[in-house]
Amino acid sequence: MRVPLDRAIAASGATLVDGAAAPATLRIGTDTRSIEPGDAFVALHGERFDGNDFTAEAVRRGAALLVLDRPAARVTVVPTMLVERTDRAYMAFARVARELFDGLVVAVTGSTGKTTTKTFLAQLCAAQYGDRVLASPGNENNEIGVSKLLLGASNEAHDVVIAEMGARRDGDIAILVDIARPHVGILTNVGEAHVEIMGSRERLAETKWALFSRGAWAVLNADDEVSVARAPMLPQPPSWFAAVGSEPAPQLRSAFEPLTALVGERRLLVRDRGVRSEYEIEAHVPGLHNRVNLAAAIAGARRLGVSLERLIPEIPVLQLPPGRYDRVAIEGGPRVIYDAYNANASGMIAALDAFAGETASRRIAVLASMAELGDESQSLHERVGAHAAGKVDVLLVGGDFAAALARGAQRAGLDASRIVLVRNNSHAAAWLREHATGDDAILLKGSRKYKLEEIVEELYA
């Protein structure tokens, strides 16, 4: 989206210097490698860089305007907007871009499943809107990522923008909603992710619930206690989604409406205005947790105007995002399932449930620890270990809370001889090379900080 110069200055409180040659509208970029002639370059700061140090390179590549928070970094005679903080200016530009966008904006957040839900939603929306759907790439879900998404939208190219929103601190979602002002908000669930940083589960819930603070139509999980408890606070009734393994419980059949629910892998139940309809589908996604994400995406797509007639044929060909239950083929070796993009307790349990359905001589789980769980770290790791005890034949545990994982598994009945404490990824890979056979299945699950992809790399070597 090209942002008018006058609106960019007003929104950011910038001072324009050498502005005679400034472009009337701004195509905004932050990476000198992708700057094109005529662009405005915003000098953002990162952990290991300061964009102000790259202004000369930006000008060399054709930047027609600079946005800086270090006046000394100016390049002589190049139009420059001086601001207090470039990140805040970038967010202000994104707010203007959102004001100029005529299409629909949907935001997805939650403790787990938001990237998968966003990915499914983008694929489903394409059934009606084709390539006029713009979604957050990867998990660019913070203030900079959401701003970049909106600044990349245009009325000429897009009808729908799908923003993933993440929260690591109290109040993060409110900031993102203020930028994006979504028409529809999908809340996958409110779990325990980042509770250490948030301070409490109540504060975590408040942060997530800010998704609806600017009037977004709520799409909620009928199996999420926080959403069910808070739904009456909304100014308008929400849409609900769910996934169950078999026939829905009575309350799911009657208490939530409008409802979009997956029943097993082959039935889609829709109830709206008292009318219940069922459709045959083929949902080839592993695990009940991913079918919940799929139900959320279907409900969100319906709220965005995509008809069931267009949605249903797309369901069998949906693709999970990378790092989510990826099946890795190792020639002559065991089947490996890499699901270690990130982890919290509910996600670990869901992955173990899905893994329990794998056909194999032995199911071997390699569980690294989870992060940012605060005072609940020990108890949640013990809970995950206990759950693993009933789902796997052998359990390898590592990371800061390996002992708690092992303790939970052993207390739940998994023999100590089937529990292996590993020092690091190389130790885990060595154990697997020595003990796992081609008839076994291996699950790799844990927090991103433990880099379990290194195990895959060593098994390939």
- The C-alpha atoms of residue 127 and residue 42 are separated, in whole angstroms, by 36
What string of H, E and C letters represents the secondary structure of 224-275? Answer: CHHHHHHHHHCCCCCEEEEEECCCCCHHHHHCCCCEEEEECCCEEEEEECCE
Report DSSP state, residue 375.
Answer: G
**The pLDDT value given to residue 168:** 80
- Sheet with 133-135: strands ordered across: 133-135, 160-164, 104-109, 184-187, 217-221, 239-244, 259-263, 267-272, 275-280
Residues 67 and 173 in one domain: no
Q: Per the domain annotation, does 157 fall within a domain?
A: yes
pLDDT band at residue 180, thresholds of 50, 70 and 90?
Answer: very high
pLDDT band at residue 333, thresholds of 50, 70 and 90?
Answer: confident
Give residue 388's identity as a one-letter amino acid code. A
Residues 40 and 128 in one domain: no
**The pLDDT value given to residue 246:** 74
Residues 297 and 432 in one domain: no
Q: Give the count of alpha carbons within 13 A of 365, CB side only.
A: 35
What's the token pair of residue 306?
């995509």
**The pLDDT value given to residue 216:** 98
Residues 45 and 17 in one domain: yes
pLDDT in tens, 338-350: 998 878 888 899 9
Q: Per the domain annotation, does 211 fall within a domain?
A: yes
First-last CA distance in the chain: 46
Residues 335 and 405 in one domain: yes
Residue 455's Cβ-count burial label (10 Å; 0-12, 13-18, 19+) is buried
pLDDT in tens, 369-407: 998 788 889 999 999 999 999 999 999 999 999 999 999
Name the pairing type of β-strands 104-109 and 40-42. unpaired
**The pLDDT value given to residue 159:** 98
Q: What global pTM score does this model have?
A: 0.89
- The C-alpha atoms of residue 117 and residue 58 are separated, in whole angstroms, by 36
Residues 69 and 114 in one domain: no
The enclosing domain of 450 has a CATH number of: 3.90.190.20
Q: Per the domain annotation, does 134 fall within a domain?
A: yes
- Which of 291, 317, 343 is the endpoint of a domain? 317
Q: Tell me how crowded residue 299 is: count the other CB atoms within 10 A of its CB.
A: 28
From 72-86, 193-207, 319-333, 393-407, the region with the lowest mean pLDDT: 193-207
Q: Per the domain annotation, does 89 fall within a domain?
A: no
Q: How many domains does the chain have?
A: 3
**Contact present, 397 and 382 (Cβ < 8 Å):** no
The enclosing domain of 241 has a CATH number of: 3.40.1190.10
Residues 208 and 68 in one domain: no
Q: Per the domain annotation, does 239 fall within a domain?
A: yes
What's the token pair of residue 13?
């409180």
pLDDT band at residue 252, thresholds of 50, 70 and 90?
Answer: low
Residues 353 and 271 in one domain: no
Q: Per the domain annotation, does 95 fall within a domain?
A: no
- Which of 317, 341, 363 is the endpoint of a domain? 317
Nearest in space to 290 (alpha carbons), one of 265, 260, 254 = 265
Residues 113 and 55 in one domain: no
Q: Per the domain annotation, does 175 fall within a domain?
A: yes
Q: Tell me how crowded residue 450 is: count the other CB atoms within 10 A of its CB.
A: 25
- Which of 84, 111, 132 is the endpoint of a domain? 84
pLDDT band at residue 169, thresholds of 50, 70 and 90?
Answer: confident
Strand ranges (DSSP E) for 284-410? 326-328, 335-338, 363-367, 394-397
Residues 282 and 330 in one domain: no
**The pLDDT value given to residue 199:** 53
Length of the chain: 461
**Contact present, 120 and 318 (Cβ < 8 Å):** yes
Report, as an integer, the average pLDDT of 72-86: 96
Residues 304 and 333 in one domain: no
- The C-alpha atoms of residue 52 and residue 70 are separated, in whole angstroms, by 7
What's the token pair of residue 136?
């957050």
- The C-alpha atoms of residue 404 and residue 412 are separated, in whole angstroms, by 12
**The pLDDT value given to residue 196:** 53
**The pLDDT value given to residue 193:** 54
The enclosing domain of 22 has a CATH number of: 3.40.1390.10
Name the pairing type of β-strands 275-280 and 267-272. antiparallel
pLDDT in tens, 184-209: 999 999 976 545 555 567 888 899 99
pLDDT in tens, 15-35: 999 999 999 999 999 999 999
From 33-37, 406-410, 456-460, the region with the lowest mean pLDDT: 456-460
**The pLDDT value given to residue 254:** 64
Q: Per the domain annotation, does 60 fall within a domain?
A: yes
pLDDT in tens, 267-303: 999 999 888 899 999 998 998 999 999 999 999 999 9
Residue 21's Cβ-count burial label (10 Å; 0-12, 13-18, 19+) is exposed
Residue 378's Cβ-count burial label (10 Å; 0-12, 13-18, 19+) is middle
**The pLDDT value given to residue 113:** 92
Query: Mean pLDDT, the chain, as a whole number?
Result: 93
pLDDT band at residue 253, thresholds of 50, 70 and 90?
Answer: low
Residues 225 and 270 in one domain: yes
Range of the domain at 47: 3-84
